[in-house]
Amino acid sequence: MSENGWTADRIDTRNPHPARVYDCILGGKDYYPPDKEAADAMVDVWPAIVPHMRENRKFMHRVTRFLAQEAGIRQFLDIGTGIPTRPNVHEVAQSITPRSRVVYVDNDPIVLTLSEGLSSSTPEGRTEYIEADMRDPAAILASAQFAETIDLSQPVGLTIIAMVHLVMDDADPVGIVRRLLDPLPSGSYLAMSIGTADFAPEEVGRVGREYAARGMPMRLRTLAEARPYFEGVELVDPGIVQVHRWRPDGDVDPAVTDDQIAMYGAVARKP
């Protein structure tokens, strides 16, 4: 067992993992020396990665509030959950509607071990965790946790935050998102953030090269390449914009500038 309590033989401690690098940059504690080394290298080549990641997290909070409060969504499928950093999707949703249900999905064993932080549901609601790869939508949708938690006669909020830049083109990320969305009923929503180098190509390009050098290739996408994810669904205003510009509230750092944000964000309704 590691000092953090998970089974050490299930964790690759020799190589960095994107979720643990993300946790490190956000000031978390659930990472290993290779993750810290990678995080330090990212910050060194692009210091703005810190506010960039913070604003992406705030985007997730605003999206969840929108879905729960304005769109009336009561059940969520969160793909690529990452290491629990509060508030999580269910905490935001259940603060608005206590009976909200959330299914979390991730393929990092650390997330499974730490999933107690994802299961602090209200008595009225429910949370479940699936250890699975988003590149296998069929396994996610066929799981007992999904079937027991998600009622497909009612709309679902599908959230895929900061994930598709880790999926290469040959894996058909647009098709993956479509296969996750297709079984969901009319009135469901898709919320995504999508990595881009449109606003700071040189700096974000350096980050991409650092990730790739550590075995974590990235595929950053232009606005034109982000649009296909939302074909056939109805974009919610303001459409596809940088995450800090999607319905900003008082939590958005007013000092953040466009060239510090390398993520598009959008929410769309399935007709």
CA distances from 189 to 30, 57, 77, 206, 231 (A): 31, 18, 10, 34, 13
pLDDT at position 52 over 70 = yes
- Please enumerate in sequence order all residues whose Cβ is within 8 A of that of 159, keeping only pairs 6 or more positions apart, or say none: 60, 63, 64, 76, 77, 78, 79, 89, 191, 192
Q: Does the residue 110 lie in any domain?
A: yes
pLDDT of residue 109: 73
Residue 27 is assigned to a structural domain of this protein:
yes
- Decide if 3 is inside a domain: no
- Six-digit token string for 266: 């959008």
Q: Is 112 within 8 Å of 104 (Cβ atoms)?
A: no
pLDDT of residue 180: 98
Q: What is the mean pLDDT of residues 250-255?
A: 94
Residues in Cβ contact with 143 at an 8 Å cutoff, skipping those fewer than 6 apart: 130, 132
Range in 24-38, 67-81, 125-139, 229-243 the model is least confident about: 24-38
Could you identify the residue written with the tokens 């050490």?
A: 8
Q: Is 105 part of a structural domain of the chain?
A: yes
Which pLDDT band, with edges at 50, 70 and 90, does 6 fall under?
A: very low
pLDDT in tens, 146-202: 999 999 999 999 999 999 999 999 999 999 999 999 999 999 999 999 999 999 999
Q: Which tens digit of pLDDT belongs to each residue from 221-245?
A: 999 999 999 999 999 999 999 999 9
State the Cα–Cα distance between residues 55 and 245, nearest whole angstrom: 10
Over residues 125-144, mean pLDDT:
94
Q: Which domain holds residue 166?
A: 8-269
Q: Is the pLDDT of residue 49 over 70?
A: yes
Q: How far is CA 41 from CA 52, 55, 90, 118, in A?
A: 15, 20, 32, 29
pLDDT confidence of residue 64: 98
Q: Identify whether 1 is part of a domain.
A: no
Average pLDDT over residues 3-29: 71
Domain of 178: which CATH number?
3.40.50.150
